[in-house]
Amino acid sequence: PASAYASSSLQQDIYSLAVLLWVMLTGQQPWHGFHYGAILYQVSVLGERLPLPQDPERCPPALAALINHMWAHNPAQRPSAG
């Protein structure tokens, strides 16, 4: 159904926003040097995520918690945009 697609799309957008925040924090290209298939496997199957900076000056704990929530492995556990 269209409503299921819209919900899925929103959850994907939330995940993408988390990756964008990671890029802004680190100044790096996500998954640089990895093949698309390897990224898909690592993220979707293994549940791996990009490493957040450990320095609280650079990535405050509240921001790290929000990003971790935004790229939760289970899309239903990600926050909404509303």
Q: What is the pLDDT of residues 21-80, one digit of tens each?
A: 999 999 999 999 999 999 999 999 999 999 999 999 999 999 999 999 999 999 999 998
82 confidence band (pLDDT: 50, 70, 90): confident
Q: Alpha helix (H) ranges present in the chain?
A: 2-26, 36-40, 61-70
Cα gap 72→20, rounded to integer Å: 15
Residue 18, number of CB atoms within 10 A of its CB: 22
pLDDT of residue 2: 46
Cα gap 42→10, rounded to integer Å: 21
